[in-house]
Amino acid sequence: MLFTPFEIKETVDMFLRYKLDIRAITLGVSLLDCASASGVETRRKIRDKLLRIAGPLARVGRDIEVEYGIPIINKRVSVTPIALVAASSDDEDYTPFARTLDDVAEELGIDFVGGFSALVQKGFSAGDRRLTDSIPEALAVTGRVCASVNVASTKSGINMDAVRHMGEIIKASAEKTAAQDGLGCAKLVVFCNAPEDNPFMAGAFHGPGEGESCLNVGVSGPGVIKAALENLREASFDELADAIKKTAFKITRMGQLVGMEAARRLGVPFGILDLSLAPTPEVGDSVARILEEMGLETAGTHGTTAALAMLTDMVKKGGVMASTHVGGFSGAFIPVSEDEGMAAAVRSGSIGLDKLEAMTSVCSVGLDMIALPGDTSAATIAAIIADEMAIGMVNNKTTAVRVIPVPGKKAGDWAEFGGLLGGAPVIGVKGPGSAAFINRGGRIPAPIHSFRN
């Protein structure tokens, strides 16, 4: 017999009781061969190529769900950063490229398309500038397009001109979607050390170092990890760590199975498996609740950073042993609006912006889905970005900022974004300004350890 009754029950419980799922299958597609001098012609080529390669994606995802009984929450596409693809075109405004991606996503029946992106860690090309300037309008007029801009890296340092510019772009995006609590900003990520193979939105893009196409998978299971710890409330940290690692191994093996099967049916290579504990607003699907299961009275209290560090490391160790192609982020996300436990901790005052920043030094990403007062200045937003980019640059890790200055709302108010994006209390920011610091411009040099060779 291949599986014992206990193993079968354990697997069924993972899906039915503890909300285990494949969070996303993301088909990465290179659009470099679509570039031409005509924007109209480039967009026609983009549409034709995506329909040809990604046409079966939604159907394949549904078929696997039915045959294997494994929920696949999102079917997505990521593309080559549009700033690279559109650079040779005759368009000054890249919003039409976003509209094309949005139309194709709707036709394909997928949830999101990522890659309205630019890589500006060392400087802006003309195409980069046109793309970033187009972001507010592009995200306001589309529903499924996600944007990202990489403004820093361990090798290049921090492009402070780009940081300042993105503070202004985030403010403009919020104003363009003010009627939806600044929803445009929920589809925009600013990165340090952005991975080229990330399956999670809003930061997914198909990096220029990737092949023609590949299938990347994002697996999530906060509820499963929490359940594994519920019977270990008197256990030592050694036992907790071992339980997390073993559970992460099981989750990753399931994701590997789905990813390889989906790639085979699509006729593309299997890329990477990203085992990230990506929460949702549903009760029982929270990273914050895992931290509390470890013994914290509430997420955000003293000890939270240590607990998150262990959780992230053990998830990665279990995942690496289960798959030969672990990539993307892999670890633990700590978004506020997408995690009911995190939102509750912010609402109770246990977590503020400073504590969230400290936690990002050990988690997988950064300041994620955080609602700010609508009157937060572009310079303050840029300063928040700069702090987070510094953590990523110095620690040689990916960090990101996805903040939403909610028009017309102040600290303590509630912002609602809907669906998997959830809702969050607006977090206050420090009063003293940072404008003189941000307005210096130029580049913060790369750290000394970036010169390893």
Give the residue-averaged pLDDT of 152-163.
96
Most confident of 16-30, 59-73, 379-393, 427-441: 379-393
pLDDT of residue 3: 46
pTM above 0.75, yes or no: yes
Phi-psi domain of 193 (left: phi exceeds 0; alpha: psi -120 through 50; beta: other): left
pLDDT of residue 7: 53
pLDDT of residue 2: 46
Task: Please write the tens of the pLDDT for every residue from 12-39.
Answer: 566 555 566 778 889 999 999 999 999 9
Distance CA 211, CA 269 (A): 9
Residue 240 has pLDDT above 70, yes or no: yes
Q: Domains in the chain and their CATH numbers?
A: 29-192 (3.20.70.20), 214-441 (3.20.70.20)
Specify burial of residue 110 (Cβ count, 10 A radius: 0-12, 13-18, 19+).
Answer: buried
Portion of the chain with pLDDT greater than 90, in percent:
60
Specify burial of residue 431 (Cβ count, 10 A radius: 0-12, 13-18, 19+).
Answer: exposed
Task: Please write the tens of the pLDDT for every residue from 388-407.
Answer: 999 999 999 999 999 999 99
Distance CA 351, CA 147 (A): 27
Residue 279 has pLDDT above 60, yes or no: yes
Among 206-210, 327-331, 346-350, the minimum mean pLDDT is found in 327-331
Residue 143 has pLDDT above 90, yes or no: yes
